[in-house]
Structure 1
Amino acid sequence: MTFHIEELSEPIEDLPANWPVLGGKDLAHGGITVYRRERVRMEDGTEADREYTLHPGAVGALVYDEERDVVLSLCQYRHPVRRLLWELPAGLLDAEGETPLEAVKRELYEEAHLAAKRWNVLADYYNTAGSSNEAMRVFLARGIAPADGEQFERQGEEKSLRPAWLDRTMLTDAVLAGKVGSGAMVVGTLALATALSLPDGLDGLRPGNAPWSARPF
């Protein structure tokens, strides 16, 4: 059998779709997520079970000091992969009524006691679309200054966070070499490098409050 591969010329965009759900049940509940099984009818009329994790979504901030060409990162232990990972300041969209932009500002304050004057969207993506509905938005934060008020008191595993300013070029090289593997860090670093290479540069990025179809607010 020969498969026909289209050559598209129209704008590229993920499209909404929804296979009919014939039934489902929650298999397990965790502190953050729900593991669910659903019976769906596919396009050819056959049925199949799909098991996936329901996740509230998350936001991250790529904090960029343009004058020094450095990126803020937090080194954090991640037990599932048994690694200390260089990551972006980030957190869950789990506060009722909080927009993604409000959430990322809060996370930057809590994890690094910093505030930013300029916010743009670098990238939106699904972490593991085959097994979870988790969506991630990576923001670009510029015009960095110490946050007002008292420093947030870290609890639990966050006490061991190690903040550091990383040279952007060295960070990009580390991502391409497979030495830095946190999803938001990889996506944000490469998106920043791409944006800097375009004619409009960082001015061509979406504003911080740009619509987000995966997590409409």
Structure 2
Amino acid sequence: MTIKDTPEEWEIRGTRTPFTGAKTSMRTDEVVMPDGSVSARDYQVHPGSVAVLALDEEDRVLVIRQYRHPVRQRLWEIPAGLLDVPGENPLHAAQRELYEEAHVKAEDWRVLTDVYTTPGGCDEAVRIFLARELSEAQGERFAAEHEETDMELARVPVDELVRGVLAGELHNNCLVVGVLSLVAARRGEGLDALRPALAPWPARPFAS
């Protein structure tokens, strides 16, 4: 048996959108179950996101600390952002986010992993990139707004982040998945064996 996620779509008898926000919306689908019954499924419709695990030459990860109102916590995270334009190239979006949030650029980009953050209630798909060979970006710094005006920036050793994840001290999804995926990749075939930065992404198809 092959352990691999596969596409599948059950019949939808009806759908409605009770709420539409600035970036996401809520949808209710009437879905036909295997026994023939119909059940309502509510979920958030999301454009998708990218995140960047930026690793420097001292084996430190670039992290930011930001207030997240829904969970009422200030979380340590890796740079991330929405795919604002349908069909947007995720690599270009990731490079933009690294520049805007950290004023950093990277020469070596790989796909670290792809995840659905909360598939039981949201269709958000995230591509997490590994970025290496870091340097200070040129040009003016991006003008921050809202929660980003209060962000902190740090570079933290990989081992320290792993300890924090396993101790229940770090909770951001992309940071947790990214850091543990980095460790797993190193123990496997190595970082250079990761998928190329423009590898296909069926969850959010894009034009190269």
For 2:196, the equivalent position in structure 1 comes to 207
Deviation at 1:95, TM superposition (A): 2.6
The 5 Å alignment of 1:27-66 reads 27-65=18-56
C-alpha separation in 2, matches of 1:178 and 1:157: 24
The 5 Å alignment of 1:87-106 reads 87-106=77-96
Deviation at 1:21, TM superposition (A): 0.7
Which structure is larger by alpha-carbon Rg, 1 or 2? 1
3-state DSSP class of the match of 2:178?
helix
Aligned-residue identity in percent: 48
Are 2:184 and 1:161 aligned?
A: no
3-state DSSP class of the match of 1:186?
helix
Q: How many residue pairs are counted as aligned between the two chains?
A: 206
3-state DSSP class of the match of 1:23?
strand
For 2:58, the equivalent position in structure 1 comes to 68
Deviation at 1:15, TM superposition (A): 0.6
The 5 Å alignment of 1:136-215 reads 136-198=126-188, 200-215=189-204
Aligned counterpart in structure 1 of residue 102 of structure 2, from 104, 109, 112: 112
Checking the alignment, whether the CA contact within 8 Å between 2:24 and 2:45 is kept in structure 1 is yes
Deviation at 1:117, TM superposition (A): 0.2
Deviation at 1:97, TM superposition (A): 4.9
C-alpha separation in 1, matches of 2:77 and 2:36: 43
3-state DSSP class of the match of 1:133?
coil
Amino acid at match of 1:175: V
3-state DSSP class of the match of 1:215?
coil
Are 2:87 and 1:79 aligned?
A: no
C-alpha separation in 2, matches of 1:20 and 1:14: 19
RMSD after superposition: 1.0
Checking the alignment, whether the CA contact within 8 Å between 2:87 and 2:205 is kept in structure 1 is no
Q: So what's the TM-score if we normalise by structure 1?
A: 0.92
Structure 2 residues not aligned, in runs of 5+: none
Deviation at 1:98, TM superposition (A): 2.5
- Would you identify which runs of 4 or more consecutive aligned residues in structure 1 move more than 2 Å? 95-98
